[in-house]
Amino acid sequence: MPGARLSLLGVLWGVLAGWCASTSAFAAEASSQQATPPVTEPITVQVVAQGLAHPWGLAFLPGGRFLVTERGGNLRVVEANGMVGPPLAGVPRVSAGGQGGLLDVVTDAAFERNRALYFCFSEAGEGGNSTALNSTALARAELSADATRLSNVKVIFSQQPKVASSLHFGCRIAQPAPDLLFLTLGERYNRSDDAQTLDNHHGKVVRIHTDGRVPADNPFVKRAGALPEIWSHGHRNPQGAAMAPDGRLWIHEHGPMGGDEINLPAPAANFGWPLVSFGLHYNGRAVGNGQPTQPGVTAPVHHWTPSIAPSGMAFVSSNRYGPGWQGNLMVGSLKFAYLARLELDGTRVVREHKLLAERGKRIRDVRQGPDGLLYVLTDAANGELLRLLPR
């Protein structure tokens, strides 16, 4: 019996030692990632505009002007000289609160001909205020010739069902073809299990025509019990979306405590949330079975632990910054307040550079402009629109 007790104590000691080692390793990894010094990059930061109230989405207008959404519900034109215009008329009321409000905006591929744009926002249900049920909605509108108002505003998609939550709206838009749109949708935080079922829009990427119709080749069009707009599922809170130069959709999404992911949504693909994650629940409990992947789940092409809280996403296709930047992927970090420049080998991230960290500003959006330069929005009560100039 004494030998058995000693053996048992040895096993317990081994388990404890292993746990301590893994915990120390996790802490060391977190410390090393957070402590990575910024890399000196050949760029100069130019402040284009200031005084934007928690700007969220950025789009480009002819003549060097910009469209900027403010989370509280305003859409503004920023002139080429940086002057911030008054709120545009015609924007529908949004359910502003928490992470909700007026979020992403893109101009149509044929904007110079049709003046059309698309924006997504948190849409209130019955009651019409921030405490009512709400969900992410996508609208189409036309910008007046004098750029002072929206007309012909029409909601072309509304996430179902609406729930009482101020979290995880997702809400990034990408246009893969002249008549198609992708929209990322969060799982609303308290409805995470919905991301694994197809009878709702929570935790999904949806694909629709620009007038709201469902494309006939969507993967679940003919599946009973599935909503036909769904393109992929198992997402948590995707706040970045961009079309790669090869025409593929890339997104990123917030993990829980760790495990932010970059994913390549594919038709009918399941990305695992909340069954698997490289992160932990906020109470420290493992997600699902404690394994980051499992059969039937598409693994991310990249992940961050600890979480960087990613927002905004853009590919560099221009040569304005030299050949070393062409094909790079840019991702903003809200948590650590830097802009990540990711070097890629195919779909694999091979190196990360941290830009703008010395400014200490939360990065909400990043876009490549028609001039081939990168533009960045900082998330603050006095938010900025920045232009990155090559030295």
**Angstrom distance (rounded) from CA 280 to CA 303:** 13
Q: What is the DSSP string of 210-257?
A: TTSPPPTT-TTTTSTTS-TTEEEE--S-EEEEEE-TTS-EEEEE--SB
Q: What is the DSSP string of 311-358?
A: EEEEE--SSTT-TTTTT-EEEEETTTTEEEEEEEETTEEEEEEEESGG
**Angstrom distance (rounded) from CA 263 to CA 250:** 6
**Angstrom distance (rounded) from CA 85 to CA 207:** 33
Q: Are strands 180-185 and 170-177 parallel, antiparallel or unpaired?
A: antiparallel
Encoded amino acid at 376, one letter? V
Q: What residue has token string 């091979």?
A: 350
Q: Are strands 260-263 and 170-177 parallel, antiparallel or unpaired?
A: unpaired
Half-sphere exposure at residue 143, Cβ-oriented, CA atoms within 13 angstroms? 27
Residues 54, 168, 235, 252: which is the catalytic one?
Answer: 168
Per the annotation, the verdict on 302 as an active-site residue is no
317: exposed, middle or buried (Cβ count in 10 Å: 0-12, 13-18, 19+): middle
Question: Structure tokens of 232?
Answer: 């992929």
CB atoms within 10 A of CB 210: 19
Contact 135, 163 (CB under 8 A): yes
- 23 SS3 class: helix
User: What b/e readout covers 52-81, taking b as 16+ CB neighbours within 10 angstroms?
Assistant: bbbbbbbbbbeeebbbbbbbebbbbbbbee
Among 184, 226, 126, which Cα is nearest to 312's?
A: 184
CB atoms within 10 A of CB 349: 17
Question: Structure tokens of 318?
Answer: 């221009």
Q: List the catalytic residues.
A: 168
